[in-house]
Amino acid sequence: MSLKITPASRLQTLPEQFFAALVAKANARAATGRDVINLGQGNPDLPTPHSIVERLKEAADNPKYHKYPPFRGFPFLKEAVAERYKEDYGVDLDPEKEVAILFGGKSGLIEISQCLLNPGDVCLVPDPGYPDYWSGVALAGAEMAFMPLREENDFLPDYSAIPSEALVRAKLMFLNYPNNPTSAVATPEFYEETVAFAKRNGVVVASDFAYGAIGFDGKRPISFLETPGAKEVGVEFYTLSKSYNMAGWRVGFAIGNPEIIELINLIQDHMYCSLFGGIQEAAAEALTGSQESVRELVATYESRRDVLYGALEEIGWKATKPAGSFFCWLPVPEGHTSMSFADLLLEQADVVVAPGSGFGTSGEGYVRLGLLTTEDRLREVAARIGRLGLF
């Protein structure tokens, strides 16, 4: 008789992995031989820049990297992070005390909840928002209070609307601008308000800056850490996945408040032995080398955005163009929920989009599309949807 396996209770509290279900549905459709265009995921479609790949190839031959790396990463990568942030945002960082190397941004966003939250504590979470925030809070045994992001408030949270019973127990808050899924961007005034709110209520700010390099119409997104006092109340998470098309390389970092950075490093001391040194060297090349590839990437996404929205306007699907990220947040037609509309597009147009309800209750009424295919394919998406006569 086989042993009865009983999973730990913490695993039973995890939310459904939304993207796994989305991928399974898309793959099942494609397996029937259909020409499926998948705009539902946030997986960059272009290759990593050549200079970064070449640096990895060279570094792989270095026997120094065939041994265990330093637990908290090589100093040269932390110095590269500090150099990039100083050049791009004017933010001064102590590489040793204010930078933590991550296995991609996702791991850090999960870890910070383990570092700061106890059962009974509350985490303030944007709604709609990146579902992995929920996962980290669930693993910590804490609770979530959702902050609705509404179009009439430019998809920024209204701090005055947070219930006092949640606020008194709140220890952590996630923010994400440029925003996934709404593509909204933050203003300096909003971040100033955020710092004051965090100080007043004793809440740590976790700024998810995954799309920090991707801003349109000549405007570069601002970092939370540019705000006076930001480092006193929080940290920022960055990933090389989006800026340098390095999603599969799993390199990210957390920066900011040294006490919080030490906690992230501490938990990682018990979980990992840092990244392969060759990948760290390639990541340093990405951060300190020419940034022309980043500028070209942003121009590509902006051109794709303009092509798609021009084609959508022709079929009558009107929406505000995204100001940042590589996502489009589009209202569903009358008579549909976000899920029913997403299912309809898959079944009748062979187009995969992410239903807004998968990002939270306030995401209902929208779908998210990624600008992650060629301009011709984006035109094809609009043409297929147009033939359904929904708008």
Task: Answer yes or no: is pLDDT of 26 > 90.
Answer: no
Q: What is the pLDDT of residue 105?
A: 94
How large is the average pLDDT for residues 175-182? 97
Least confident piece of the model among 15-29, 75-89, 288-302:
15-29
pTM for this model (two decimals): 0.94
What pLDDT score does 308 carry?
97
Provide the b/e sequence for 35-64 (b: ≥16 CB within 10 Å). ebbbbbbbebbeebbeebeebbeebeeeee
Domains and CATH numbers, the chain: 9-47+292-386 (3.90.1150.10), 67-288 (3.40.640.10)
Tokens 């279900």 found at: 21
Band (14; pLDDT cuts 50, 70, 90) = confident
User: In the predicted model, is pLDDT for residue 240 greater than 80?
Assistant: yes
Over residues 365-375, the pLDDT tens digits come to 999 999 999 99
- pLDDT surpasses 90 at 167: yes
User: If you average pLDDT over every residue of the chain, what do you get?
Assistant: 95
**pLDDT score, position 10:** 87
List b or e across 275-297, with b for residues whose CB sees 16 or more CB atoms inside 10 angstroms: bbbbbbbbbbbbbbeebebbeeb
The packing angle between helices 375-386 and 292-314, to 10°, is: 20
Residue 384: the pLDDT is 96
Q: For residue 368, give the H/E element and its range.
A: strand 366-370
Angle between helix axes 277-288 and 75-89 (nearest 10 degrees) is: 20
Q: What is the pLDDT of residue 173?
A: 98
Q: Which of 91-95, 143-147, 223-227, 316-320 has the lowest mean pLDDT?
A: 316-320
Instruction: Label residue 222 by pLDDT band (50, 70, 90).
Output: very high
Q: Which pLDDT tens digit goes with each residue over 336-365?
A: 999 999 999 999 999 999 999 999 999 999
* Nearest Cα residue to 61 out of 271, 306, 277, 343: 277
- Residue 391: its pLDDT value, please? 87
